[in-house]
Structure 1
Amino acid sequence: MFDSVSAAASPISATLPAALVAAAAHLVPRLAAHAAESDYDGGFPSREFDWLRAADLLTGPLPAALGGASLVQPEHTLPLLMLLKHLGRGNLAVGRVYEGHTNALQLIGRFGTPAQQQRYAADAHAGHLFGVWNTEAADGVKLEPLPGGRYRLQGSKTFGSGAGHVTRPLLTAALPDGGWQMLVLPADAQPPTYDASFWQPLGMRASASFRVDLSGLEIGSDDLLGQPGDYYRQPWFSGGAIRFAAVQLGAAEALFDTARDFLRGLGRTDDPYQRQRLGEMAILVESGHQWLHGAAAHAGRPAAIEQAEATVAYANMVRTAIEEVCLRVLQLAERSVGARGLLRPHPLERLHRDLTHYLRQPAPDAALADAGRFALLQTAPAHELWHVD
């Protein structure tokens, strides 16, 4: 733990991205073994995030100069996606909340002032959990200017993942002129009102994605992040879909492993139909893995930011392809294990619920249509469409 002054003067030695990927992979058995313990309404994997803190995973997205591993830099996209995949393989709720933590620190690194980057790096090293709460409730969040450079929040967010545990949520709020402003709320000092009754889902119960009422909370101008509209700037807004796709693929890998273990336990490894299903599942999981490699290569191109439309279209293909991989793996796993494998407390029952719920990301049809729109507007042949700067 250190303050922002010491962070600026004496950066902590950065951990290599590969070491963090290995640390996440090492945690997978423990995450999976304890996942059922927080699988209840209002649950949250608090102990698991203590493990992530101890493994330096909460500081991994920070730049090396601030004691991180620069995981969110384009050249480290593949290690970041592999890390997210491992966490999703261990516990999908952990992967979901960690992806939000990563997203928030990435936005701070991109749009924050140097002083803000120092300040929030110190918070990350002190163990604070970040997140992004963007989905509006009916009474969407508004930012009211007050005298003395202060602001008052009014309104609510829904799907506030990690509610009550995320202490540095990044929010969007409407300004009086209609602009959308990012801010980081010190939720430990200015706690919102959480409505846990909102979150009664099919799966992902441990993500604690409550309704969050921010009405009456006050922040200062130094809590505002970037300029109005920055949150929706492309390719970063839509291009970030590759991160949640990586978490989803991790759960598909866990389904594959769990279904295979179930069949081995029953001595069904010689059944030709089970072999056929496992073969198809193996192809699907590996194809998802290759999509992540493609996503990392595309995000790391020198022209990825300038060619924002191409970057977004590719990310939309990735999320669509991995969604289809996951849906098909779910179906094949169901058929492989039958009714017995979908009974509690078998882990496949929870995995099935969690992945089914987490796959419901916003606007899947629009994402696919956007990829098609981009392809229709191009004249390059198919073999060059995604691979030429």
Structure 2
Amino acid sequence: MFEAYQLPEEHAEVRAAVRAVCDAKVAPHAAEADETGEFPHSSYDALRAADFHAPHVPAEYGGAGADALATAIVIEEVARACACSSLVPAGNKLGTMPLLLAADEQLKQRYLPPVARGEAMFSYCLSEPEAGSDAASMRTRAERDGDTWVLNGVKRWITNAGLSEFYTVFAVTDPTARSRGISAFVVERTDPGISFGAPEKKLGIKGSPTREVYLDNVRIPADRMIGAEGTGFATAMKTLDHTRVTIAAQAVGIAQGALDYAKGYVQERKQFGKAVAEFQGVQFMLADMGMKLEAARQLTYAAAGRSERGDADLTYFGAAAKCFASDAAMEITTDAVQLLGGYGYTRDYPVERMMR
């Protein structure tokens, strides 16, 4: 009965492999990335060398062909070591998912192999200053001009903007049709007219740049449209159904990192003649943290299975996993700060970074 909830051997092997890479080559750079706000290039190089930077890309495009559960495990394990580094595989899946869902074969063959090889990252440009949750209210326009499209507008909160070579950009092609008048395009970082704002000064995940993307008469070939005209909004929503799972996995990983560190600390720290871990109140806290973490993980993996199969209830499970895992991570990391006492409040220890 219980074996039904155990990971298949190949997924357990993925976890062990990612953890080994992250413990050795990602975790040592996490504090510096947070302190400086600089993208951790050495961590990125380590992920690329091990083929964990975009594991979801199918084998026919040169990728590792990891399923949705294996991809979630990769993101979880990277986040356990460094939250900002986990936005390399997570961001690449978010940016490329519209192509996997809706692009023609020519577009996939052009843009997915460079991502698989680690030569390029892919960003997802949906949100705008006046269109966050209400994405259908976007104002970015794309106007047809012969065999090209000309894009104008501003995108906000774009992960890895300026570093990524490629951008999935959603724009209005028919202003009279609201959500049915939105289309999706691939824009390249070297296209004339694209530029980037200064990095946002964020509370956390500082080593992953978040910038505005400015589109000023960006002219692109018509064959860079993803799917048919007017299908962009539907593609965007389907993409989010699949990639909410990756953010849930990120939250699980952050929480696991905090629990692991706090558990080790209370076993070593002594007060009143014995290890802090021997006090029943501390044991209650650790038990609650572990319980919430495992519940979040199981819900996340259940959502990953639905993502892989394309189940009809993926929208619900993806959203539920993202919400529950994020809430659990906030609670667990806050408790970890408490368990470290005054040290939890300092940047000399990693749990305050994990909480942020």
Change (3 A) 1:220 1:241: same
Q: What residue is the counterpart of 2:77 in the other structure? A: 86
Q: What residue is the counterpart of 2:150 in the other structure? A: 152
Tell me, yes or no, if the aligned pair for 2:245 and 2:318 is still in contact at 8 Å: yes
- The 5 A counterparts of 1:131-142 are 131-138=123-130, 140-142=139-141
Aligned amino acid, residue 175 of structure 1: T
Aligned to 1:153, what secondary structure does the other structure show?
A: strand
Change (3 A) 1:248 1:86: same
TM-score (structure 2 length as normaliser): 0.84
Question: Cα offset for 1:175?
Answer: 1.4
Aligned counterpart for 1:340 among listed residues 335, 339, 343: 343
Q: What residue is the counterpart of 2:255 in the other structure? A: 252
Could you tell me which runs of 5 or more consecutive residues in structure 2 were left unpaired when the two chains were aligned. 1-9, 131-137, 271-275
- The 5 A counterparts of 1:263-278 are 263-267=266-270, 268-278=276-286
Tell me, yes or no, if the aligned pair for 2:96 and 2:168 is still in contact at 8 Å: no
Tell me, yes or no, if the aligned pair for 2:54 and 2:88 is still in contact at 8 Å: no
Tell me, yes or no, if the aligned pair for 1:59 and 1:67 is still in contact at 8 Å: no
Aligned amino acid, residue 251 of structure 2: Q
Deviations 1:284-324 (A, max 9, x none): 212222112322333345xx44x3xx221222222222123
Aligned counterpart for 1:297 among listed residues 302, 305, 309: 305
Aligned to 2:278, what secondary structure does the other structure show?
A: coil
Aligned amino acid, residue 256 of structure 1: L
Aligned amino acid, residue 204 of structure 2: G
Tell me, yes or no, if the aligned pair for 1:17 and 1:70 is still in contact at 8 Å: no
Aligned counterpart for 1:103 among listed residues 77, 94, 103: 94
Could you tell me which runs of 5 or more consecutive residues in structure 1 were left unpaired when the two chains were aligned. 1-15, 354-389
Question: Cα offset for 1:260?
Answer: 1.8
Task: Give the whole-Å Cα distance in 2 for the aligned partners of 1:162 and 1:236.
Answer: 18
Question: Cα offset for 1:83?
Answer: 1.2
Aligned to 1:151, what secondary structure does the other structure show?
A: strand
Change (3 A) 1:48 1:203: same
Task: Give the whole-Å Cα distance in 2 for the aligned partners of 1:328 and 1:161.
Answer: 25
Question: Cα offset for 1:328?
Answer: 2.0
TM-score (structure 1 length as normaliser): 0.77
Question: Is the counterpart of residue 195 in structure 1 residue 187 in structure 2?
Answer: no
- Root-mean-square deviation (Å): 2.3
Question: Cα offset for 1:253?
Answer: 0.4
Change (3 A) 1:259 1:41: same
Q: What residue is the counterpart of 2:207 in the other structure? A: 206
Aligned to 2:111, what secondary structure does the other structure show?
A: helix
Aligned amino acid, residue 184 of structure 1: V
- Report percent identity of matched pairs: 22
Task: Give the whole-Å Cα distance in 2 for the aligned partners of 1:126 and 1:288.
Answer: 30
Question: Cα offset for 1:157?
Answer: 0.8
Q: When you count strand as a share of all residues, which structure comes out higher?
A: 2
Tell me, yes or no, if the aligned pair for 1:21 and 1:83 is still in contact at 8 Å: yes
Task: Give the whole-Å Cα distance in 2 for the aligned partners of 1:193 and 1:275.
Answer: 52
Aligned amino acid, residue 348 of structure 1: V
Question: Is the counterpart of residue 51 in structure 1 residue 51 in structure 2?
Answer: no
Tell me, yes or no, if the aligned pair for 1:27 and 1:90 is still in contact at 8 Å: no
- The 5 A counterparts of 1:276-355 are 276-301=284-309, 304-305=310-311, 307=312, 310-353=313-356
Change (3 A) 1:135 1:47: same
Q: What residue is the counterpart of 1:215 in the other structure? A: 216
Question: Cα offset for 1:329?
Answer: 0.8
Tell me, yes or no, if the aligned pair for 1:235 and 1:311 is still in contact at 8 Å: no
Aligned amino acid, residue 144 of structure 1: E
Aligned counterpart for 1:28 among listed residues 17, 22, 25: 22
